Amino acid sequence: MEEKEMQPKRNSQAGRRIKDGARMSGADSIVRDPERSQIKRRRRPIRRKPQSRRRRQRNLIIKMSLVLILLIVAVVGTFLWKKYSPSDEKADLNKYYGIEKKSQVAITVNNEVVEPHGMISDGKLYVQYDVIRKYVNSRFYWDSNENILLYALPKDIVSVEVGSTDYMVSKERKSENYVIVKTEGNTAYIAMDFVQKYTNIEYEVYDNPNRVMIVGDWGKKKVAEVKKDTQVRYRGGVKSPILTEISKGKTVTIVEDEGSWEKVRTKDGFIGYVKDSALRTPETKNVTRKFDEPKYTSIKKDYKINLAWHNVTNSSANEGVLEKLAKSKGLTTIAPTWYHVADTSGNLKSISSVDYVSYAHKANMEVWATVRDFDGGINSQKESYELLSHTSSREKLINQLVAEALRTGIDGINVDFEKISAECGEHYIQFIRELSVRCRQNGLVLSVDNYVPKGYNMQYDRKEQGIVADYVIIMGYDEHFAGSPEAGSVSSYNYVKEGIEETLKEVPANKVISGIPFFTRLWEVRPKTEDEIAKDAGTANEEYKNKVSSHALGMDAAASAVKAAGVKTTWDDETKQNFASWKSGDTSYYIWLEDEKSLGYKLDLMKKNKLAGTAEWALGQENEDIWQLILKYIN
C-alpha cells in the first residue's frame, strides 16, 4: 500500500522539473548528475540579434566618413593656405628697375619707374639727357653736333661745354665745383645738381640697388601713415613679390586707390601696393618746395588783333603796300613775307623796306615781318632739320633777323616754318625759345604760325610756344591743299572749329589768333589715263581713280569762275560754305566759296572763344566788302 502511494509523487516532481526547465528558454538548464546525484548548471551560447550587426556597420561607415572629411579639410586647407597666405617671395629689384649692368643707376620720377640711365661719377649723380628732357625738364637742350648744353631763360641763354665746371649765362661766366656735363660716346649726362638749379625738383640717391628718387609733382597729395609693419608689393595681392618692407610710422604717398589695396610711392623710390588695412586713414596735404620759377613775360595788345599777311615776292612788290592798305579797313597789323632762310648755315635772305614800315606806321598799323623755311632758299624737311639742329646756324639766323628788325623798325617777327619733321621737333622749339629771348630783350612781338593740331604735327609743341611766344596763330586753311588727292573745302567750319578747340587745350585764349582764308581752290577732277595709273602704282595715290588738280583763287576770282560756268551755288551746311560744281567733257569742277557768309561763321568762332584776334591769308585776295564784316567782330 505504501509503494503505490509513493509513485505518483515522484512523477509529479519530475513533471514540475521538466516544466520549470521548459520555462528557462535560453537560460541555464538543471540536470541531475547520476554519479553525484546533484543538480549542475550548463551555459548555452548567446545568439546576437540582427540589429547589433547593422549598428556595427553603421559605426564603421561613420568613422570612415569622418576620416574622409578630415582628409578633404586638410587638402582644402592646404590649397587655401597656398592660395591666400602672404607670399614671402622677394622681387628681383634689378629687373624691376630695368638695371642690366652694375654701373647703371635706377631712376624713379614721381610715380613712374623710368629708364635706368643714370650714373655716379666723382660722387655726383648724372642722368642722361634724354631722360631729363622727357621726364624732368624739357627746356634742357643738348646739341650733339657741337657738344653744347643749352637752357633758355626768359632773357638769357645758359650754355655749358662738355667736361667744364664753368657755364655762361648770356655773356656772364659762372662756375660750379663739379663737371656739369659728361659724355659717353654721343650720349650726354647732366649733373642733377645743375638740373635742380633750373627745375623745381627734389632728389635723393639710395643704394641696394643704386637708384635715385626724383620728385617734382608738387601740390595737393594724399598721404598715409603706416600703422603696422608691412610690405610693399609689386602688384595688388598677397601673392605678388615683395619690393620692400616698410615699418610702422613711415609715411607713403597714395598714388591710386584700388579697392582693398593702395598703390603707393615710398620716399626711397619704390612704387607698389600696400594692403589698405596696414595704413591709417589718408590725409590730403599740400606738398611744396620753395623755388623761384622763371617768369616768361609776353607782350599783350589791349585790342583785338586784325592781322593780314602780305605775300611779298620781290622788293618791287613792297611799293604796292599803300594801295592795299588804302582798300583795307580795321587792320591793326600787317605781316609782309620778307624773310627767307637762304641756306642751312642760317643765312637770311631779306627784301625788307624801311619805307614800307613807315607807311604802315603812318596808317597806325604794326609790322610783324614773316620769316619762312620755304619759297626762297631752303625748301625741305631735311634742310630745315640741318639748319635747326646746329646751334651755330640757329644763332646766325636769329642774329640776322633781330638786326634786320632793328634796322627797319618793325614791331615784331612772325615765324612761318612749315617743313618741320617729327625728328626736327626738339630743334625747332629750341629755335623758338632762343628767338623769344632775343625778342624779349629788344621789345619785339614774337608770333608763330601753326597748322590745325593733328597727331602728325604735334612736334610743333604749341604748349611751349604758348609760354615763350607772344601769340600763337592757327592757319585755319589748307584742309585740302594744292597736292591733295581729292577735292574738298580749303577751310570748312568744323576744321576751323577743331583747330581752335585743340589749340585752346594747350595755349591761353588771349594768346591765340585764328587765321582764315581770303582764297579758295577750283578743283578739276577727271579719270586717270592708263599712263597715270601705271605711274601711281605702288604709291599712296594708287587708291584714287581720278586725277585731281587745283589752283587758288581770290574771293572775287572765285565768284567770277562760278558765274562764267553759268551755274548757281547751293549752301553746304556741313562746311558752312556756298558750293558749286559743273562738268565739261570728262572733267568735273568743284568749288567751295569763301564769302561774307562763310567767313562770318569762322569769325563767330573767334569771338565766342574770346581769342586774341584774327588773321587773313592773304592781303589782296579779299573782296573789299569783307572788311565791314571783320570790323563787326574786332571792335
The distance from CA 547 to its chain's CA centroid, rounded to whole angstroms, is 39
pLDDT bucket at 49, cuts 50 / 70 / 90: low
pLDDT of residue 79: 67
pLDDT of residue 98: 97
Q: Report yes or no: 594 and 576 within 8 Å, Cβ to Cβ.
A: no
Q: Report yes or no: 350 and 339 within 8 Å, Cβ to Cβ.
A: yes
pLDDT bucket at 51, cuts 50 / 70 / 90: low
pLDDT of residue 66: 84
Alpha helices in 318-476, H assignment, sequence order: 321-327, 354-362, 381-388, 391-408, 425-442, 462-468
Kindly give, in sequence order, each residue whose CB lies less than 8 Å from that of residue 407, ignoring residues fewer than 6 positions away: 352, 354
pLDDT in tens, 507-545: 999 999 999 999 999 999 999 999 999 999 989 889 899
Q: In 10 A of CB 331, how many CB atoms?
A: 23
Residue 473: C-alpha distances to residues 387, 412, 442 (Å): 23, 14, 21
Four-residue CA torsion sign, 164, 168, 172, 174: negative
Hey, is 492 helix, strand or coil? coil
Q: Would residue 533 be called left, alpha or beta, if left means φ above 0 and alpha means ψ between -120 and 50 degrees?
A: alpha
Q: Report yes or no: 217 and 185 within 8 Å, Cβ to Cβ.
A: no
For the cut 50, the answer to whether the pLDDT of residue 14 exceeds it is: no
In 3D space, the residue among 416, 476, 497 whose CA is nearest the CA of residue 615 turns out to be 476
pLDDT in tens, 224-239: 999 999 999 999 999 9
pLDDT of residue 6: 43
Bridge pairing between strands 366-372 and 333-336: parallel
Q: What residues does 110 pair with on adjacent strands?
A: none
pLDDT bucket at 53, cuts 50 / 70 / 90: confident
Q: What is the mean pLDDT of the chain?
A: 92
Q: Would residue 610 be called left, alpha or beta, if left means φ above 0 and alpha means ψ between -120 and 50 degrees?
A: left
For the cut 90, the answer to whether the pLDDT of residue 20 exceeds it is: no
pLDDT in tens, 550-606: 999 999 999 999 999 999 999 999 999 999 999 999 999 999 999 999 999 999 999
Bridge pairing between strands 546-554 and 166-169: unpaired
In 3D space, the residue among 261, 333, 340 whose CA is nearest the CA of residue 615 turns out to be 333
For the cut 60, the answer to whether the pLDDT of residue 188 exceeds it is: yes
Tell me how far apart the alpha carbons of residues 626 and 462 are, in angstroms, rounded to a whole number.
30
Tell me how far apart the alpha carbons of residues 414 and 407 are, in angstroms, rounded to a whole number.
16
Give the global pTM.
Answer: 0.87
pLDDT of residue 1: 42
HSE at residue 338, side-chain half, CA atoms within 13 A, is: 25
pLDDT bucket at 186, cuts 50 / 70 / 90: confident
